[in-house]
Structure 1
Amino acid sequence: METQNHGVPWETEYGYAQAVKRGDTIYISGQLSHDGADLVAPAPVGVDGRVTDFSAMEAQMRQTYANAAELLGRFGATLANVVDEVVYVLDIPAAFAVAGKVRKEAYGRPDPQVASTLVGTTGLAFPEQLVEIKFTARV
């Protein structure tokens, strides 16, 4: 078994590996839009702790795929090796508005060959976070 991390504080705080390779399968923990310990395109949050604007969905989704691609690259894999993804979002209409474009760009083809599930949820790891994506890849 081989593992990889991004080196961000929440890995130690929560206690997990970002990616685990066992045999020919790579399991990527839910990825989010960060560059190091800084969130990329954080959504504005009101005093009640709820997101007030979902327009950063595209930027967050794009960075999330980039972070997954980085982890996969450490195992000699790419997003082309992904066979399954689960996309968790705070707002399904906002995700649908950008997901097709972003996913096609990330996977580099007009018909990504990956099983995909979109799940609406009431919250993610950080209040400013709009999307989290979990991946399974085969090499």
Structure 2
Amino acid sequence: MSTLDLFDHGIPAEKHFGYTQAIRSGELIHVSGQLAFDDAGDFGPDGDIAAQLARTYVNLDKVLAHFGVTRNQIVSQTLYVVDLVRNAEVVAEANRAFFGSHRPVSTVLGVTELTFPGQAIEISCVVDTRLPA
């Protein structure tokens, strides 16, 4: 039996909600919804979708670095966006900037609210380690 490779940011929400940020299962890495929190676990800035996207992608990069993989190995992503109609172009622009020429499968869902007050974005993904970095 092999041990699981897990990653946590070390924020209180992980223990409070009982989850891990990412888990490697064979050649796949399943990444929980990444949020816009800082190194101290503080969430913010409230409602600022562009700033939250930037922080969320920083947190996603930390997960990828733990497993030694890159953005080019992300095969699918799901984005949960508050007020999607108003924020769609900002999300699309940030997504293109994050991935460059790589284009994973993507599902974008408009939601009325997310876990934390002021939270505007959450991004989960699946990574295939067999793909070239």
What is the TM-score when the length of structure 1 is the normalising length?
Answer: 0.85
Unaligned runs of 5+ in 2: none
Deviations 1:2-36 (A, max 9, x none): 10000000001011100000111010000111112
2:127 is equivalent to residue 137 of structure 1: yes
Unaligned runs of 5+ in 1: 44-55
Q: 1:61 aligns with which of 53, 74, 97?
A: 53
Paired letter, 2:116: F
Q: 1:63 and 1:94, CA in 2 relative to 1: closer, same or farther beyond 3 A?
A: farther
CA RMSD of aligned residues (A): 1.2
Counting aligned pairs with the same residue, the percent is 33
Displacement of 1:92 in angstroms is 0.8
Q: 1:118 aligns with which of 97, 108, 118?
A: 108
Paired letter, 1:133: I
Paired letter, 2:20: A
Q: 1:42 aligns with which of 37, 46, 49?
A: 46
Question: Hey, what does 2:31 align to over in structure 1?
Answer: 28
Counterpart-to-counterpart distance in 2, 1:30 and 1:100: 18
Question: Hey, what does 1:92 align to over in structure 2?
Answer: 84
SS in 1 for 2:20: coil
Counterpart-to-counterpart distance in 1, 2:112 and 2:97: 27
Counterpart-to-counterpart distance in 2, 1:74 and 1:26: 11
2:103 is equivalent to residue 103 of structure 1: no
Q: What count of residue pairs does the alignment treat as equivalent?
A: 125
Counterpart-to-counterpart distance in 1, 2:106 and 2:19: 23
2:75/2:128 contact within 8 Å kept: yes
Counterpart-to-counterpart distance in 2, 1:93 and 1:62: 19
In the TM superposition, structure 1's runs of 4+ consecutive aligned residues that sit over 4 Å from their partners are none
2:44/2:119 contact within 8 Å kept: no
What is the TM-score when the length of structure 2 is the normalising length?
Answer: 0.88
